[in-house]
């Protein structure tokens, strides 16, 4: 692309009805509140959920579902209540939501297939024989857990509440970058909450830091930045129920990475081994391709509206 993704999003993103309402301080406060809600929900939901699952003797899928359900139960109702001050978050009717969800999932999956396919052709990935039954079981369980633990609460709080709060006051560039900055703060803040929950429940506190244990913080935050901008592009690609486009993109990203790049560790039925250290670059590469795809969707929709056609 000849210009930054955030600038293109800024030029094409619609301005909400309350675009000039409220002070800058109020908009920033509401935007940070979205991130705070997500961080508290993630740290508390996973911490208390794990403790409750252990106390109830749960294992396997139920032990994973309980913390995930708690995260959504803590984050989504609260941020929907707060949204009365920011405006609609981007949910819509059933048909609009399904169309947006499929758009987000389809563009992301297409980008992943294109880039990972090219990487395979270039000899960067070595694919083993898939186990169809294990793959189907993984896709079914991972979809539910990832939706409740990450995709639904993160998109509602961040690309929903935080984006809407910022876009109601600022141009798209600032809103896109500001939403992404808040997104970067959530993992570290959630570890602080998680440590507090572990202290309360007598568990082992997780390491406090900006990145998950075992990951390089700089690499993780760079990837999270690219991912965050892609999700904003997905959020602005459609009308009617735009938040579902971001949810679809988020869920697909998690599914592809866990099935393909972590398949052996997660029992996904796919054995894919990188043959070169450069294979790690395939992930941000397909995120950039997906971002470009969403910007094209946005441009085509804007053109159809300008020409008098119905939005797609």
Using CB atoms within 10 Å of the CB of residue 66, give its burial: 0 to 12 exposed, 13 to 18 middle, 19+ buried: buried
Q: Could you tell me the pTM of the whole model? A: 0.89
Nearest Cα to Cα of residue 256 among 157, 138, 144 = 138
More confident: 266 or 249: 249
| pLDDT exceeds cutoff 50 at 179 | yes
Band of pLDDT at residue 1, cut at 50, 70 and 90:
very low
pLDDT at position 312: 40
Mean pLDDT for the stretch of residues 100-106: 97
Check whether 290 has a pLDDT greater than 70.
yes
Distances (CA, A) of 279 to 117, 125, 268, 286: 12, 7, 20, 12
Q: Using CB atoms within 10 A of its CB, is residue 162 exposed (0-12), middle (13-18) or buried (19+)? A: buried
pLDDT digits (tens, 9 = 90+) for 120-155: 999 999 998 899 999 999 999 999 999 999 999 999
Q: How confident is the model at residue 304 (pLDDT cuts 50, 70, 90)?
A: low
């Amino acid at each position: 692309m000849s210009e930054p993704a955030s600038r293109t999003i800024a030029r094409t993103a619609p301005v909400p009805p309350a675009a000039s309402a409220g002070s800058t301080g109020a908009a920033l406060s509401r935007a940070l509140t979205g991130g705070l809600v997500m961080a508290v929900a993630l740290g508390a939901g996973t911490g208390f959920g794990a403790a409750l699952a252990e106390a109830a003797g749960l294992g396997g899928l139920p032990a994973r579902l309980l913390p995930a359900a708690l995260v959504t139960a803590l984050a989504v109702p609260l941020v929907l209540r707060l949204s009365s001050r920011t405006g609609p978050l981007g949910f819509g009717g059933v048909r609009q939501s399904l169309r947006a969800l499929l758009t987000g999932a389809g563009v992301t999956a297409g980008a992943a297939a294109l880039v990972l396919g090219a990487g395979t052709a270039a000899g960067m990935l070595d694919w083993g024989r898939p186990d169809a039954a294990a793959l189907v079981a993984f896709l079914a369980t991972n979809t539910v857990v990832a939706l409740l633990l990450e995709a639904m609460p993160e998109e509602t709080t961040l690309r929903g509440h935080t984006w809407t709060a910022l876009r109601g006051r600022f141009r798209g560039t600032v809103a896109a970058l500001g939403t992404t900055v808040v997104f970067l703060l959530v993992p570290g803040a959630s570890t602080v909450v998680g440590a507090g929950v572990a202290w309360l429940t007598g568990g082992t506190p997780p390491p406090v830091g900006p990145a998950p244990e075992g990951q390089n913080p700089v690499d993780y935050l760079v990837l999270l930045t690219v991912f965050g901008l892609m999700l904003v592009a997905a959020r602005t690609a459609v009308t009617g129920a735009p938040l579902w486009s971001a949810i679809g993109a988020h869920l697909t990203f998690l599914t592809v990475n866990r099935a393909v790049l972590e398949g052996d560790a997660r029992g996904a039925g796919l054995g894919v081994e990188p043959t070169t250290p450069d294979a790690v670059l395939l992930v941000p590469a397909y995120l950039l391709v997906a971002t470009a795809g969403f910007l094209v969707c946005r441009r085509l929709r804007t053109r159809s509206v300008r020409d008098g056609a119905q939005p797609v």
